[in-house]
Amino acid sequence: DAGVIQSPRHEVTEMGQEVTLRCKPISGHDYLFWYRQTMMRGLELLIYFNNNVPIDDSGMPEDRFSAKMPNASFSTLKIQPSEPRDSAVYFCASSFRTEQYFGPGTRLTVT
């Protein structure tokens, strides 16, 4: 298995632009998680899905953030409009029976 796949790996955008991050979980996994990592705040869980249904979005920082999982093999995290404070590394992870496996991350820079 290729593991969790994320795209793009790097994204540089200007403040106010829409950003879409993509994730393909490991086949057969029924949970999908979106995390954000910064030096100041460490690893933060933003939202997670079970069988494509959002379970807990309490970590989503504000309405500018939204996430979807239209099917078992694809999820998106969208930021609209983006702000410089959104600059971070965003990780997607998936799991089956508790063990979570992380993707390589998307490094987002908002100027």
Partner 1 sequence: QQQVKQSPQSLIVQKGGIPIINCAYENTAFDYFPWYQQFPGKGPALLIAIRPDVSEKKEGRFTISFNKSAKQFSLHIMDSQPGDSATYFCAALRRGNEKLTFGTGTRLTIIP
Q: Rule CB under 8 A: which residues touch partner 1?
A: 4, 31, 33, 42-43, 45, 48, 50, 56, 91, 93, 95, 98-105
Q: How far is the CB of 109 from partner 1 (least distance, A)?
A: 14
Q: For partner 1, which is the closer residue by CB, 31 or 74?
A: 31
The answer to whether residues 108 and 8 touch, using CB atoms and an 8 Å cutoff, is no
Nearest-angstrom CA–CA distance, 93 and 80: 22
> What's the min distance (Å) between Cβ of 59 and partner 1?
9
Residue 43 contacts residue 100 (beta carbons within 8 Å): no
